[in-house]
Each structure stands twice: as structure tokens, then as C-alpha cells.
Structure 1
């Protein structure tokens, strides 16, 4: 796959792309993004990704580009790079503006689509750490996939410093919201359960597929629920993996549960 990406209306070589120093996405994290899996030359669950993207643009009050043009650009990146598998990172920022927080009138959004090859190896099982960072379930931003990922980044760094490989973020009420870059599910009495969006969980794509297939249900979860679960699984658009410990305490792991979820999401 070549280093060709979409930037503001045209395919360009990666080295030729220039982000304007006044772009609010760079300066303020003022934008949204989607990471989409490509399989057999097509984007998996494109409709769901587009729905979440445009909901996020509406939440941030960023002028929405024409959906048909965005989808055509996605196809162009896949075609130009002869992609059969991998992922696309679609980023839309509010665009450029003067110094200060208030967005300018009539700013033109920046649109960038970057291709990535498939992961060389599957992600390993996760060792979870309950982070001191919190997920504010009362904020509308908890339901949008914005460029402001610092709480998740700090949570993951904290987990690594404490000997884990993945962080669990609790909400302001002390209940489970999500992992740093994945939705979280547990198996209880054979049923898959996942925190509701109202608890601070990002409305993930893989999560929505499992809910629509009636393979999972929404339930408020606590740390005790994780420890008592028959299995704890992390899912996002790119991966499905088991969690095998929480704050160094072992978690039950059912390989059949992980295989069942992966079959539903990755087929």
C-alpha cells in the first residue's frame, strides 16, 4: 500500500500534506474522527460510522460536509491505495481560525483520510487497571468521538505505569464506563452485558452491532461485576480481546465467549 491520503479535496502523497498552524483541530482538538476497518476492499459498517460521525459534527456544531462527497473520498483512498484490508482514519476539524476559543464565522472544515495496513499481529489479552481518571457521563462529549482524547491517553499511561496494559474508566458515579479505546462487555449467566451510553460509554460501532443482534444487553456495571464475571471482553471496530486481570486480580476467561463475539463482528 502506498503512502497516499485524502486531504481537503484531493489525493496527495503523505509527505506533501501540510496542516495549517491555525487549524483548530491541531490547536484545540476541535474536531471528530472515525477509525474504520477495511475488509475485502470495502469499509465494514460504513453506515454506522457515518451516523456517529455526523452526530458528532452536530454536537460540536461543525458545518457538515456533504455525506456523498465524504463517502466518495473514502472510496478514492481505498482505490488509490489498492487496499484489500487495513483501516482508514477519517478526521474532520472545524478548520482554521484566529487565536481564541470562539469559532470564526464561515470556517471551512479540514477533511483528512489516512490509510493504514492491517495489524501485524493480533492484540494480546488485556491486563486491566482501574484508572484514577473519570468519564463524565453528563457531558454530551462523552457520546461523540472527538479529537480530545487526553483523559483516555492519561488513563492508558497510568495503567502502563501500574503494570497493566489497558485502563478502565469509571464515570462520575463510580460505575464502569469504558476502556481507554474500547467498549467493555462482561458475561454473566451466559449473557453479554455492556454499560449504557448514559453511563458514559462511547456509542461504539462494535457495541451497537452486538446490541442490534441481541447478543448483548445494556446494564450498569461496577468493579465488582467485572471481578465476578464469567468473561470480560474489550471490543472496538478493529479488535476483540479478552481481559485476564483487573488491578492484578485474575479474571475468568472463556475462549468460547471471545470466539463468539469475534465471529459476530469480524466475519
Structure 2
């Protein structure tokens, strides 16, 4: 029988000081796993690890710093004995506006963090442990990578590339390593604040399940994909959006048109 028991397994979660990353760490820890949480500062990494409690370790590691990433993988193996799960969650969006209005610095930062970092961390974890022992990689993408939105073109392009990369790596690392992604809709995080903070009720009304997402919604899905309950799932992108991609649910709640 397949279960979501992660006892004895160790997960590294990048960008885990808050939001989806922290929720993923909490969900994996609740399932019995050891967790290593990364953040750009040691202080925030330690605070997040303390919030998770139990077998949690905070490590300062900027997502695109190869030396810090390698050190984090080594520390995880040294403390817990393995790296069975990698959650590539760190993300950024410094580029708001039309694609052709962006400069190279914003393009580079967006793609370095959102695309290169998952390649870097997956390569290091595979070399150190996953390649020989197997395990699971979960990438945090976005429903933006599945469509088009005004002013978010560069960010969405990076997430579309990450969805493609997920499938590519699922083939390259098969059969030992499963590689999947989650594609959240609008979730109550600081990164997504501009999408919900000033008009949350309108967004709730337009969403089939009548609310925006919470980090815990995504964290639970990540823990599922990391577990044996998803042992025959690879190369997939799980959309978790409360039905946002279905369209404006408010239009379906107005009742029948008079005289129809």
C-alpha cells in the first residue's frame, strides 16, 4: 500500500523562509520527514526551521549560489544521512510590464532564479545522492506558465520553461528519480501580493472554490508528490488553483436569466 509517510527521508526546500516553501517544509515534516530550509540569510532560515520544529535545519543559501547550494546538500547528508526529496521553490519576479519593456538585468535575475536554480540544485542533489539512491524532485511553477497575462510575460515565460524542464528532467533522471511540478494559482504569499491584496473579494468571487489559495494548499500537494502515494507520477505539472483557470465563476452564480 502506498502512503504519504516520509519517515526517514530528508528534503531540501529552497526559498523556504515563508509562503509556499515554508508550508511545504511543514507538510513534509508532519509526514515524518527531515527538512532543510534555505533562505538568503541565516537568520531567516533559522527562524523558519524553528517554526517547523522537530528535525529541521536552516541554511543560508541564495538559490543561484553554486557554492552555497553544494554546501547545503553536503550539510543535509552530513546531518540526516540522505537527500531524498528536493523542492525547487525559490522564485522571483522583478520584471513587471510588457516583455519588450524589460532590461537584461531583470531578464537575467528572473531566469537565473526561476530556471537556472532548479537545474543547479537538481544536478547537485542528483550527483550527491538521488542519482544512486533515487527520490523525488518537485518544482514550483505557476498557472502563469500555462497561459498569458498582461504585465507578467517574462515571469510566466520562465515558469513555462520550468514546466518544460520538469518533463525533460523526468526523462533524463528516470527511472530512479521522479520529477514533477506544482502550478499554483493566486496564493496568499508576499510574492503574489500584487495579484490579490487590493481586490481579494473580487478574486474570491471569480474563483470556482470561492477563495484564493493558502500556502498550505500547495504544501500538501508537494508532500504528496514527494511521497510513495505518487510513486507512478513523473513529468507532470499539478495545477492547484481552486478552479481559477476555468474562468470567472461569478458568471455561473447569477442564476437563470429572466425570461429564458
Structure with larger RCO (C-alpha < 8 A, sep 6+): 2
**TM-score, normalised with respect to structure 1:** 0.24
**TM-score, normalised with respect to structure 2:** 0.24
More strand as a share of residues: 1
More helix as a share of residues: 2
